[in-house]
């Protein structure tokens, strides 16, 4: 049975992410920091009572294609209506477009609760959030008037339509055509892997699609973004006749069965009526607004499924009696190796939760702080943390879900328990919104070179200040491993920022090990921050936080720090006959 981790969410919002400072930023309503606990409690009530119970039938029955429409299992439409009526889709957006005007940090905490309750369903509000961002930042005033409130208030949902049969990561190969039609456009093309591209939850679906104008240059510079509604939208924002968009099929997937992954055909007849969003040939700029937000949210999905898998593994470990301890039958939680697995899961979840909420606080600061220099510094932090959140948390989701299967033993390999579903559901998160290899390339290649290489330098300087505070208070059990980890991260960073001459692939070869070094390093420092601040405030969980931070520093951090050699090895060992045809 799922229970929202409210205690740690509230603790980390207040003591790691700095919710009080975020709430004091310009434009937030008074008392936002005091609203966090009641808002999270209400989210937990909905998640535990209505959303989580649909997770198992959603996996077992899945989304079905019936007469060209997609039908979700019984209960989902009613649950979605309750979710939308509560305003949960639009927490961080302005009130004038139907939002709640709350911090992203708080929204991330709330969304973790919903995502953990039902990961497959969570794709629907996640993508709608991206569509809101795109129309809000790049749409015309008329488009904002006709679309945004429907999306924020939950009557309509949104999608991101990028991938085509011949164009996956290489969006420069997108071939969908946009043909002029009076003052508008008509689209012709096929999009694949479109999550929630068709469903029966809402009255309309707003597709954000990439396509090419007739005079478009080749590659990504020739892409434009379009709004393509499932049902045509009139001048007053009302949905009417069906558009020329059809779901041809659903993918049969490893997991996330309740989340319909669609093949969409735009323009089987006269063409799908479409509206240009932003300037011609600026589609990638518009799409990145959606993509960057989606990457943070997908990272949050990885964290959420890890929490769900951990809760069920912990409960099973207390229930399953096997073996003896001190001459008496014992539940398996009494065995040290099982406790090692559970502590590994728990510490990693708390570490990455700190990273996610810190990224949310940085996002709030970057958009609202009165000082332009502070906003710029916070935006640099968001840029640096985004690939760490996306890849670090989704790698974590897979690892923790797999470990959850291991805790269950043989039962974990049987579909009668939920452990296999969590592993199946988690697996896609490392792939979509840019595979984790792409996130690593973004971090090690692009992000380390931005702002003259200052992004990691600023982070490391902050961590050195954390170390000094720990040293002053005599926390040597954390200072030594953290200092060693920081030295390794700095050495790996300097190597990646250097000129590697003839070895053009050197940075790319070290990118994934670097990300797998950086994510636990950042997590370790935030766990130490959590423990240190809990002690300073006399928090009841102070002793447990210090134990968790120490376990992480001694058990999780050393293998990550050992990756410095892999980061700096270059590319010479990657070519052992792999280019020869099999």
DSSP secondary structure of 507-572: HHHHHHHHHHHHHHHHHHHHHHHHHHHHHHTT-TTHHHHHHHHHHIIIIIHHHHHTTHHHHTT-SG
How far is the C-alpha of 132 from the C-alpha of 91, rounded, in Å?
12
- pLDDT tens by residue, 371-421: 999 999 999 999 999 999 999 999 999 999 999 999 999 999 998 899 999
Q: Confirm whether pTM is higher than 0.95.
A: yes
Mention every residue, 6+ apart, whose C-beta is less than 8 A from residue 453. 497
**Domain 157-281: CATH architecture, name and number where available:** Beta Barrel (2.40)
| Percentage of residues of the chain with pLDDT beyond 70 | 100
Cα 159 → chain centroid: 16
How far is the C-alpha of 305 from the C-alpha of 312, rounded, in Å?
11
Task: Label residue 226 exposed, middle or buried (CB < 10 Å: 0-12, 13-18, 19+).
Answer: buried
Nearest to 385 by CA among 358, 347, 350: 358
**258 and 77 Cβ atoms separated by less than 8 Å:** no
Residue 29: other Cβ atoms inside 10 A: 11
**435 and 169 Cβ atoms separated by less than 8 Å:** yes
* 133 noted as active-site residue: no
Catalytic residue among 164, 307, 433, 466: 433
pLDDT of residue 330: 92
Nearest to 92 by CA among 107, 78, 82: 107
Supply the Cα-derived Rg of the chain in whole angstroms. 24
For the domain bounded by 6-152, which CATH number is listed? Answer: 1.10.540.10
Cα 105 → chain centroid: 13
How far is the C-alpha of 524 from the C-alpha of 484, rounded, in Å?
12
**527 and 548 Cβ atoms separated by less than 8 Å:** yes
pLDDT in tens, the chain (582 residues): 899 999 999 999 999 999 999 999 999 998 999 999 999 999 999 999 999 999 999 999 999 999 999 999 999 999 999 999 999 989 999 999 999 999 999 999 999 999 999 999 999 999 999 999 999 999 999 999 999 999 999 899 999 999 999 988 888 889 999 999 999 999 999 999 999 999 999 999 999 999 999 999 999 999 999 999 999 999 999 999 999 999 999 999 999 999 999 999 999 999 999 999 999 999 999 988 888 889 999 999 999 999 999 999 999 999 999 988 888 999 999 999 999 999 999 999 999 999 999 999 999 999 999 999 999 999 999 999 999 999 999 999 999 999 999 999 999 999 889 999 999 999 999 998 999 999 999 999 999 999 999 999 999 999 999 999 999 999 999 999 999 999 999 999 999 999 898 898 999 999 999 999 999 999 999 999 999 999 999 999 999 999 999 999 999 999 999 999 999 999 988 877 677 777
Mention every residue, 6+ apart, whose C-beta is less than 8 A from residue 445. 507, 508, 511
Mention every residue, 6+ apart, whose C-beta is less than 8 A from residue 428. 253, 254, 255, 256
């Amino acid at each position: 049975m799922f229970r929202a981790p409210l205690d740690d969410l509230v603790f980390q919002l207040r003591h790691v992410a700095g919710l009080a400072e975020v709430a004091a930023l310009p434009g937030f309503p008074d008392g936002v920091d005091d609203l966090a606990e009641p808002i999270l409690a209400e989210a937990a009530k909905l998640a535990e009572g209505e959303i989580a119970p649909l997770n198992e039938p959603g996996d077992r029955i899945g989304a079905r294609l019936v007469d060209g429409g997609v039908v979700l299992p019984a209960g989902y439409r009613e649950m979605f209506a309750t979710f939308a009526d509560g305003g949960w889709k639009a927490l961080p957006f302005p009130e004038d477009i139907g939002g709640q005007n709350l911090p992203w940090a708080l929204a991330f905490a709330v969304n973790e609760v919903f995502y953990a309750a039902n990961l497959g369903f969570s794709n629907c509000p996640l993508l709608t959030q991206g569509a809101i961002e795109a129309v809000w930042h790049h749409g015309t005033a008329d488009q904002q008037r006709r679309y945004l409130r429907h999306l924020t208030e939950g009557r309509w949902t949104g999608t991101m339509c990028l991938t085509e049969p011949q164009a996956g990561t290489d969006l420069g190969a997108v071939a969908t055509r946009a043909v002029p039609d009076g003052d508008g456009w008509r689209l012709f093309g096929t999009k694949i892997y479109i999550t929630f591209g068709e469903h029966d939850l809402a009255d309309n679906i707003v597709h954000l699609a990439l396509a090419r104008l007739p005079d478009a240059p080749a590659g990504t510079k020739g892409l434009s973004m379009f709004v393509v509604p499932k049902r045509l939208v009139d001048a007053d924002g009302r949905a009417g006749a069906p558009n020329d968009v059809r779901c041809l099929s659903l993918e049969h997937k490893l997991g996330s069965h309740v989340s319909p992954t669609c093949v969409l055909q735009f323009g089987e007849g006269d063409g799908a009526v479409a509206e240009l969003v932003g300037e011609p040939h600026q589609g990638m700029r518009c799409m990145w607004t959606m993509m960057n937000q989606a990457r943070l949210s997908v990272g949050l999905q990885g964290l959420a499924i890890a929490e769900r898998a951990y809760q069920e593994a912990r409960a099973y470990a207390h229930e399953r009696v096997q073996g003896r301890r001190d001459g008496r039958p014992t539940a398996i939680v009494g065995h040290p190796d099982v406790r090692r697995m559970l502590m590994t899961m728990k510490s990693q979840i708390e570490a990455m939760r700190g990273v996610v909420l810190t990224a949310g606080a940085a996002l709030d600061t970057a958009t609202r702080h009165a000082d332009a220099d502070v906003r710029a510094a916070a935006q640099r932090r968001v840029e640096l943390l985004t690939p760490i959140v996306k890849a670090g948390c989704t790698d974590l989701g897979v690892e923790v879900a797999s470990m959850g299967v291991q805790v269950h033993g043989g039962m974990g390999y049987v579909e009668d328990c939920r452990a296999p579903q969590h592993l199946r559901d988690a697996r896609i998160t490392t792939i979509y919104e840019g595979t984790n290899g792409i996130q690593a390339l973004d971090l090690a290649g692009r992000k380390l070179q931005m702002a003259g290489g200052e992004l990691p330098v600023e982070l490391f300087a902050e961590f050195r200040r954390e170390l000094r505070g720990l040293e002053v208070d005599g926390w040597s059990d954390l200072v030594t491993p953290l200092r060693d980890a920081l030295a390794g991260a700095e050495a790996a960073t300097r190597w990646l920022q250097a000129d590697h001459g003839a070895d053009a692939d050197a940075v790319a070869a070290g990118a994934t090990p670097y990300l797998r070094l950086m994510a636990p390093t950042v997590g370790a420092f935030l766990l130490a921050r959590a423990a240190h601040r809990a002690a300073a405030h006399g928090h009841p969980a102070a002793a447990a936080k210090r134990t968790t931070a120490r376990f992480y520093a001694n058990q999780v951090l050393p293998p990550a720090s050992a990756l410095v050699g892999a980061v700096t090895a270059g590319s010479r060992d990657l070519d052992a006959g792999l280019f020869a045809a099999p």
